[in-house]
Structure 1
């Protein structure tokens, strides 16, 4: 989450005139993340999240995202719910951007998650994949493997500003993944961005999943690979096998990975690491100077990629089957 577009009082009042939320008491920007403009909206009826959709979000995809959140909630997952206006619409326009109001979830995210919390997110991801199987919508992954060379070209000329020889390293990894990427694994709805800042806890109890604006149809095991990168490394860059064991054990208590998925995991974690390294690299080099946003250091994910380049099988990630 972030703020790229500011909202003035008159614009906000005009937008909310179609809602039965009561008087606005406060609007506060949320600085975390790098994609959309997000605000905590405090009105007479309570707290909500107001999102203005920016950058990589295609307006045509918004009904998929919002419909998915409603579907998952109907199947027992706790996630934000779109608030519909008096005309039954969940989408409007504000400050020249598509905009929506969604419900506010209680809880806090954890940038140093425990083994227990890694297990909780593994179980939640398994339930998400199960629930998503009955969702009628479909959306291609706009940031799947086909997009990675395009992202690289956006940053190639300046990659050396981040680290010498980084462009050559990326080029080599793209060639490896193009030749090894699995194409016939089980597919379905994936979150595609289930990082710690998109998972809320009250105590050690998972209280909600948020930010579904990268959700798409892709390999389910790739979603697990994204989580391995996001949840199972320590701040010093070391891999915590205990967290991997907890994550995969809990995931498989809900949905078993098949033999092909297990075999593909060493490649999938490399691809997941490169995908986030590339988007972070582009954002690091191009974030607007006046944006209320904190771009994330891409070197963290290049470090994770180098770890994955040394592993040979899923057991080294914590999947002991």
Structure 2
């Protein structure tokens, strides 16, 4: 699959999807709101609440099931054949006939061995890849502060400074060389200032708050809806609606790698579901080591 074929295939297939599932960080917030602005028929269906400091993580959905034919995973690398996803967790190969080894669909599992190798994996983020897919020129489409927020997502500006050769290779391959000069001059305090303007904590993650039944950013008091509203206003995009999440799925992060953020995986990573009305009960189901007592959970079977 060539670069051009990749772009065209993505834009064709996204027309057949209805729902968006996202990760819980700034890159996902930018990527999903941009995509839902470009493709107005898409609606937010689920959020992966992935806490880097806990082994147990959760997926919140508006309905009980995932559907291959209807769902697209944004800023999530899904390896299950037939599932559509867009993300930057991929490796560049000069020898590959495809655009990259982590193709649009189906995915490959080869990325697992290269995830932490920043000398070869994609040093960009998902929002930049989406902008590339839709032919946006960052310097022409966005003002400087908006570009800073884009560079802040997944620390793209730091990747440039730390892995210049790999970063330059990717930019040359994708025709993004024009951002290199700007990245050279960015100061850390500029990045932190724009992040403060949308009221996000340094890491840019959001997590679920049981007390108010809503996603909140770390150490702040803004909801996921306000968080996405802030992103949209900052980027001059239309706002997107955050639905009420009725279903909650648990999975063990220790069994999840970046090529398998996958609720359709054969290993059944998502083994338990709790209807919304039982959510407070679930909070009490952790022992002192925070191990889930699955016996008390509602078995959802294979999603």
Q: TM-score, normalised by structure 1?
A: 0.27
Greater share of residues in helix: 1
Q: TM-score, normalised by structure 2?
A: 0.28
